[in-house]
Structure 1
Amino acid sequence: METQDQNPNPMQQPPQSPGFFQSSTAKIIMVGLLTLVLLIPLQFVKSLIFERAERQKEVVTEINNKWGEDVYFYGPILKVPYTQYYETKFVDDKTKKVTIQRSESTEFAYFFPDQLNADLNVNTQQKNRNNYESVVYTSKMDFKGNYSFPSFDSQAIPKENIHFDKASIIIKTNTIKSITGSVTVSINGKKHTFEPVQNNNEKDTVSTLETNAFDIKSAFENGPAPFDFNINYKGSEQIKIVPIGKMTQAKMTSNWPSPSFDGNFLPETNTITDEGFNAFWKVSHLNRPFAQQHFGTLPSLSEYSFDVKFLIPIDQYQQNERAAKYGFLVIGLTFLVFFLIQSVSKINIHVFQYSMIGLALIMFYTLLISITEHSSFMLAYLIAGLSVIVMITLYSLSILKNKKFAGFIAIALSALYIFIYVIIQLENYALLVGSIGLFLILGAVMYFSRKIEWK
């Protein structure tokens, strides 16, 4: 009987399955690790943007210091001195004799107006230095109102101790350097000029302007004493005013198209257009936690102001910073597009080629920040985006050898950059639009990856 040879032909080996490093799983792991590695140079780009933004803050601060700082103001306040007497008892330990020593000191009472009407006109402009800009303004502030006769009844101070003939008017402000021209107040038709004085007893760290002493009794001959005064400032970024009137009404008009209303009181009404805004405040003494009269010292009132900020809503560095925050998303989605093309077309893309594509995507942000400093953000975004899209499209054409795939990549990158630009420009709806867009992108990825064989 013939015995058949059971040994297989050595030339006929069974097909070998591809190794792990050639599998789709290994490739997607390597692409994911490369994406994480590229976060390092992306972080360097973010640091560069932060450094340039800090430089801008330094330059803006320098411009503002030379032009004028932000303005904090309240007044006018009626200041009346009075004499306070004190008695101190001394007891002799040996003789038990009691000696009373009397002393006196001059104190001050402060009275806020009953009615305070403010008409504020603010003209803004943008100052540029090199690649940086700041918002500065000139303001004209007109105040009118009236005082009731100052009452000391709550302190039980004898009338002979009150010096109505040495009264004065004061205003408080954080910057006297920014005031332009002289400041005078008219009390019942009589004018008085303000001069800067040193703070002694007041708790406020702000500066004080005060008139010379005068007799206020004549101002109240016909009832409440009317007053009016105006003060002009050169300032920057914001205005803060404390509503010290028993009833305060303030109207502000400005050519700044994007104000930010802040502080303890928001305007009753406001109208904002491309040409500017106007706003109106009405504040009663019942709406704030401080009294109309103070004895001894004035409290700090800075937290009870109504504020208007004249800031650039989104400056170029904020826009660059927001764009860089989407860097991980751009790199990840771009790599995902290449990976899907690689899986569908069976074209092998080396990890080095992925690295070159990733570095090109990071170069977008360095181009963006450098071009933005010499032009508008929109133009810089357009130039940087087109440059990177063209570079990656040509590179993908050389490695994929397929115009259809290269065109798809160009369209995908264009759509991604347009999507991110829209999100950056939005303020109130950025989160909503971004969430919807990412949801649609995830749906598209799920659709195109549904038939991929992961073996």
Structure 2
Amino acid sequence: MTDSILEPAPSPWMQRWRGSGFEAAKRILFLSLLILLMMIPLGMVEGVVQERSQRKQEVIAEVGEQWGPLQAIGAPILVIPYDMLEMRPKADGSEVLSRMRHFATFLPASSAIDASSKVEKRHKSIYEVLVYGAEITVDGQFEAPDFQRWNVPPEQIHWNEASLAILLPGARALQSIDLRVDGQQLKVDAGLLPQHPRGQGLRADLHLTGAKSLAFSMKLSLNGRDSVSVWPLGGQSEIRLSSDWPHPNFIGSPLPAKREISQQGFSGTWSINHLATGIPLSWRDGEFNLDTMAMSYIGVALTEPGDVHQQTDRIVKYGMLVVTLTFGTIFVIGLLKRDRVHLMQYLLIGAAIALFYLLLLSLAEQMPFGGAYLVASVVDIAIVAIYAGATIRRLMGVLTGLILAALHGYMYVLLQMESYALLSGTVGLLIILVLTMIATRKVDWYAIGEESAAVPAN
């Protein structure tokens, strides 16, 4: 009697909430937990995709080590030794005038580089690797080296010990080289000397007799993979890169002044002044260090459109959306038709959706991505539609299959839209939200559970 007086009787709204209203909240919470649970298999599938992608990169690197590395080339660099009289300390603390060896470095006044490559596809296991063979021509001219600006006496310049340095990190994939100065062929040797710029490459001795301008011409044939880059070394560099590969990705700075891309290949041209590179045309040792790791470059990478691992990874990222909309469709139809769907039915349908991405990846590694996507989608839609129709309701199977087909088609369209993918995805979600609101506008959420409560338990 006391308890009934102290505790007010619950309102009709509260009584209804504790009954059927609580049932609606329980079902929605149950559905939300199921959707979150599906993040586990989707995350595992995404891990498999990343693992396969990493394995492909390892194969590319392995084939690259055998065929040729990422290639980069620059115009020859002229290095001339000279002596200077300097005061050097002795062991007793006094100083003595000594002749010390120094080196002056000169870049070409102008250079023209033309690189043309033919792309090949090499296969290892199930992976395809893009490699190329390149023919490169480098022409240019050095102005007469000027030592007067440094007050170096002519008799202290060792013209006969001059050399040319050629920066070429991928020299191990070099097939042939022909280097000529003023029409005379030079003998090219491997490796750079300590007085040369830091890096890897080749060198050639140049026995000069005095200060004069030098015209050079160099032809190289080499192998490489993925990309070819050029260092614009010289007062004015004219560069042209071309290939029979129709999918270039221009890298470095600046972008080409002119470019042409077609199904037969591409070409790009650059015109770069040394003032834009920040590299002087001449310097003495200690004044400037030419470091290939810090130098600006231009080039082109050979991209592979429709990489199966990248596309599959993008599709998997939409997996939670597909699961949510599929489960939401089953939930809404169940509300409208007063069907109850068991936990195991949701889990089996979710498993079929997760396996779709694994099937897509395994098929795409063996056949074109479009065909793999079609086969995997048909299999996934058929499994989900037949199972839902057989275990829940025929209408449920038909509608779920149609929704899943529309989602797979919509995801494929988003893959093809690089610039408008976010806009299209947002608009699609808004349309789905509006359709869900329309479909559930007459649902009495408080009435959920009343029918089940009215039916006596067996």
Do the structures match in fold with TM over 0.5? yes
RMSD (Å) for aligned C-alpha atoms: 2.1
Q: Secondary structure at the match of 2:370?
A: helix
Aligned positions of 1:141-160 closer than 5 A: 141-160=136-155
Q: Which aligned pairs between 1:26-425 and structure 2 lie closer than 5 A?
A: 26-90=26-90, 99-181=94-176, 183-202=177-196, 204=198, 206-215=199-208, 217=210, 220=212, 224-296=213-285, 298-302=289-293, 303-402=295-394, 404-425=395-416
CA drift at 1:48: 1.0
Q: Return the offset for 1:18.
A: 9.1
Instruction: Give secondary structure in 1 for the equivalent of 2:387.
Output: helix
Aligned letter for 2:179?
V
Give the partner amino acid of 2:276: N
300-309 vs 343-352, which moves further? 300-309
C-alpha distance in 2 between matches for 1:353 and 1:443 = 27
Counting aligned pairs with the same residue, the percent is: 28
Compared CA separation, residues 119 and 272, structure 1 to 2 (3 A): same
Contact 1:24 1:343 in 2 (8 A): no
Amino acid at match of 2:109: D
Whole-angstrom CA distance in 2 between matches of 1:428 and 1:269: 23
Q: How far 1:314 moved relative to its partner?
A: 3.8
Letter in 2 for 1:369: L
Letter of the 2:210 partner, please give it. K
Matches of 1:46 and 1:129, distance apart in 2: 24
Q: Quick one: which amino acid aligns to residue 342 of structure 2?
A: H
For 2:165, what is the secondary structure of its paired residue?
Answer: strand
What corresponds to 2:453 in structure 1? none
Q: 1:217 aligns to what SS in structure 2?
A: coil
Q: Distance in 1 between matches of 2:282 and 2:234?
A: 11
Q: Secondary structure at the match of 2:424?
A: helix
Q: Per-residue deviation at 1:226? A: 1.9
What TM-score, normalized to structure 1?
A: 0.89
Moved more, 293-302 or 140-149: 293-302
Provide, for residues 185-207 of structure 1, a one-character-per-residue CA deviation record: whole Å limited to 9, x for no partner: 22222121211134424562x21
Q: Is the 8 A contact 2:75 2:111 kept in 1?
A: no
2:424 aligns with 433
Contact 1:21 1:27 in 2 (8 A): no
CA distance in 2: counterparts of 1:120 and 1:431, whole angstroms: 38
State the distance in 1 between where 2:89 and 2:62 align. 57
Verify the 8 A CA contact 1:202 1:299 in the aligned structure 2.
no
8 Å Cα contact 2:111/2:237 also seen in 1: yes
Cα separation, 2, equivalents of 1:365 and 1:254: 35
Q: Is the 8 A contact 1:349 1:399 kept in 2?
A: no
In 1, distance between residues paired with 2:312 and 2:100? 61
Separation (CA, whole Å) in 2 of partners of 1:373 and 1:214:
57
Q: In 1, distance between residues paired with 2:89 and 2:32?
A: 85
Question: What residue is the counterpart of 2:3 in the other structure?
Answer: none
CA distance in 2, matches of 1:33, 1:80: 75
One-letter amino acid matched to 2:334:
Q
C-alpha displacement at 1:25, in angstroms?
2.3
Question: How many angstroms apart in 1 are the aligned matches of 2:115 and 2:386?
Answer: 59
Report the secondary structure of 1:261's partner residue: strand
Does structure 1 retain, via aligned residues, the 8 Å contact 2:80–2:105? yes
CA contact (8 A) 1:20 1:26 kept: no
Q: Is the 8 Å Cα contact of residues 199 and 208 (structure 1) preserved in structure 2?
A: no
Are 2:352 and 2:384, in contact at CA under 8 Å, matched by a contact in 1? yes
Q: Please say if residues 140 and 231 of structure 1, whose CA atoms lie closer than 8 Å, have aligned partners that are also in contact.
A: yes
User: 1 CA distance for matches of 2:156 and 2:267?
Assistant: 47
1:203-232: CA deviation from partner (whole Å, max 9, x where unpaired): 62x2131112311538x3xxx432211111
TM-score by length of 2: 0.89
CA distance in 1, matches of 2:426, 2:167: 49
CA shift for structure 1 position 296? 1.5
The one-letter code matched in structure 2 to 1:196 is A
CA distance in 2, matches of 1:167, 1:435: 65
**Deviation per residue, 1:283-325 (Å, 9 max, x gap):** 0122121101121264114431112111213411111111111
Query: Residue type of the partner of 2:347?
Result: S
Residue 277 of structure 1: CA displacement? 0.4
8 Å CA contact 1:396–1:406 kept in 2: the answer is: yes
Q: Secondary structure in 2 aligned to 1:367?
A: helix
CA distance in 2, matches of 1:158, 1:320: 68
Contact 2:180–2:218 (Cα < 8 Å) also in 1: yes
What is the rounded CA distance, in whole Å, between the counterparts of 1:203 and 1:209 in structure 2? 11
Q: Give the conservation status (yes or no) of the 8 Å contact 1:114–1:247.
A: yes
Q: Who is 2:7 aligned against?
A: none
